[in-house]
Structure 1
Amino acid sequence: MAFVSQAQSGFSSKVIGVGVVVSDLERSLDFYLNGIGMVKTGSFDLNEEFTKRSGLTGGVPASVTVLKLEDSPAATEWKLMSFGKKATHPKQRFIQDDVGMQYITLHVKALKPAIERLRQRNVAFLGSTPTPLNGDLQFLLVQDPDGNFIELIGPME
């Protein structure tokens, strides 16, 4: 336990920024902003020199769009970037189909508005979701346009 406490003291921020490379930025922005309900909080460009020096892309420039669950300094950053190409691996059907980051969990105040927004965008609900989780909580599983799994958990209303 002391190791965990010591490790935590070495971070200058409690926010984790997650970078997601998407095949179609506009389609992903529609999904996350208008389907899931995130907000755009900023964007920035990475030039060829920086991406090469940093090892990010080997010299390919990139633009990053920053989304959050709310516009707050304490909110986790969901950073989208696109190089305009599809993934080189097949889309996963279940979380066990690949390794690496497979899903994120979002806790919502009410699931019904998200369900309505996602249905308007013809987003498929996976399994038999929404399904009861515990108490008044419901669990909904969807995939973003590139196959990343998104768990939404909250009361229906």
Structure 2
Amino acid sequence: MRHGMVVGLAIVSAAFLCASVAFFAASAPPRGHAADDAKAPKDSFDKNVIDIGVIVSNLEKAAAFYKNALDFTELDGFAVPASMSKETGLTDGQAFKVRVFTAADKNKATKIKLMEFPKAPPAKVDTTYISSSLGFRYITIFINDTTASLARAKKAGATVIKEAYPLAGGEDYLSLVRDPDGNIIELIGPKL
């Protein structure tokens, strides 16, 4: 089941995009000479996926949600030292650790990067509806079995907003659940 899942774009706040871009830039291997850049594909992307940084209020609780409710696999995480955090503009100098999760092959799938800042918790945005706040508002996960995915999410204590809404023109259903911070996760797939 896990290997059939593919994560789509979209999440809760512009801050997440900034953090993800900064993490990618900081962890990407340096580019070579101009000649190497000339060989880059026309679209200029090294990967055909993106990674998403999610700021959470409780790292352990969020990690359990992504593992147990969504069936993600945890990969090796990493720490960002205070000096790098400040010099890159990610934070005001707070060191933090990042836990990394994926739904499929770790080299070819989007990664969710969870992090928290307990010394200076960020402000919570309104997550009532996707139209309640600016920025990335939800992520989409394409699943193999709506019934099994919802059962797993419920067993793990996820808040279900909508179960198995039939989508026009096919066999897929849309379901919505919330993570521990209230962020919306969209699940799309067939009912088996």
In which range does the TM-score fall when normalised by the shorter chain? 0.7 to 0.9
Q: Give 1:121 shift.
A: 2.5
Deviations 1:88-130 (Å, cap 9, x if unpaired)?
2354211111110001111001112211111113322214x22
Which of residues 68, 74, 79 in structure 1 aligns to 2:113? 79
Which of residues 22, 27, 30 in structure 1 aligns to 2:61? 27
- Which sections of structure 2, spanning at least 5 residues, go unmatched? 1-39
Given the alignment of the two structures, is residue 105 of structure 1 paired with residue 140 of structure 2, yes or no?
yes
Q: CA RMSD in A?
A: 1.9
Aligned length: 151
Ranges of 4+ aligned residues in structure 1 off by more than 4 Å:
none
Given the alignment of the two structures, is residue 41 of structure 1 paired with residue 97 of structure 2, yes or no?
no
TM-score of the superposition, structure 2-length normalised? 0.73
Distance of 2:114 and 2:124 partners within structure 1: 19
More displaced 10-residue stretch of structure 1: 79-88 or 55-64: 79-88
Given the alignment of the two structures, is residue 117 of structure 1 paired with residue 159 of structure 2, yes or no?
no
Given the alignment of the two structures, is residue 89 of structure 1 paired with residue 115 of structure 2, yes or no?
no
Change (3 A) 1:49 1:87: closer
Given the alignment of the two structures, is residue 13 of structure 1 paired with residue 41 of structure 2, yes or no?
no
Identity of aligned residues (%): 32
Query: Which residue identity lines up with residue 123 of structure 2 in the other structure?
Result: T
Query: Which residue identity lines up with residue 36 of structure 1 in the other structure?
Result: L
Q: Give 1:156 shift.
A: 1.3
- Which sections of structure 1, spanning at least 5 residues, go unmatched? 1-5
SS of the equivalent of 1:73 reads coil
Q: Give 1:86 shift.
A: 5.3
CA contact (8 A) 1:39 1:71 kept: no
